[in-house]
Amino acid sequence: MLNITDKSVITDISQGHHSFKKVELKGTEFQNLIEELINLLPNYYIDPLSMARTLERLGKPAAAAKLRIKLPEVTKIRSGDIGEILTTDYIDEKTVFSVPIKKLRWKDHRNMAMRGDDVIGVLINQENQTIKFLKAEAKSNQALSRDVLKKARDELDLDEGLPAPHALEFVAERLRETGNQDLADFIEKAQLVDGIANSQVEHLLFTFTSSNPETLQKEAFEGYIGNIKQSSVGFQVINHQELITSVYQGVLDGLDD
């Protein structure tokens, strides 16, 4: 876990059952975050067991090549991937939801973004055998704008605010492939038999920016008029581009050691 909130100055704003949080990385934690992301990032692109198998059978040069061909080369795609990684880590660390698959492992091209909902979290109540979903939208931009926030809002509101059917089926199929049949069954039953109500869904808008997200993101947060519970998190890192460049270069440098 990256524990970004422990590395940051936090501003919390609540509005009914909705919440907005500005998370500003402390300058003294910048290098620590880079190093932790360097260690974490490979696991988002390749299953560690798959990597270990390649290393055992074919040696370190082959394992390094395996990861190298998965890493994006395009700056915009790298930025978006880091945004999704930060969002996923935040969900697993700071919410009651968990993210059951690392979606980036199934990218069909390293220099293209994946379609569908950015991140989906789930929460199973074993006592009454029910499921809730967190539909998350991740935005990574040097400077936040109203246009970026409007696009995020539009994407969260697609499918009447519920997780996209094809995105849920994608998650369920990947869970089956990786042996988690029970959770796949939960998801498919909710989607295909029971139906999903608004009360079973929450939204998370997570931004990763260099600019101060507070004014614009708070404005967008306060402008929401729907009935799905909203969480909005603005993670500000002054050296946004430097962080992204340093993380990917650090991973690549490690492959050459």
Please indicate, yes or no, if residue 190 is contained in any of the structural domains: yes
pLDDT in single tens digits along all 257 residues of the chain: 999 999 999 999 888 789 999 999 999 999 999 999 999 999 999 999 999 999 999 999 999 999 999 999 999 999 999 999 999 999 999 999 999 999 999 998 999 888 888 999 999 998 888 999 999 999 999 999 999 999 999 999 999 999 999 999 999 999 999 999 999 999 999 999 999 999 999 999 999 999 999 999 989 988 898 999 999 999 999 999 999 999 999 999 999 87
Yes or no: say if 124 and 183 are a contact pair by the CB < 8 Å rule: yes
Please check whether residue 52 lies inside any domain of the structure: no
Residue 171 lies in a domain: yes
Q: What's the domain count of the chain?
A: 1
The whole model's pTM is what? 0.96
Please report whether residue 128 resides in a domain.
Answer: yes
Sort 69 into a burial class: Cβ within 10 Å, 0-12 / 13-18 / 19+.
exposed
Q: Is residue 66 part of a domain?
A: no
In a domain, 68, yes or no: no
64 located within any domain: no
Domain around 213 = 18-30+76-242
DSSP structure string for 129-153: TEEEEEEEEEEEESS--HHHHHHHH
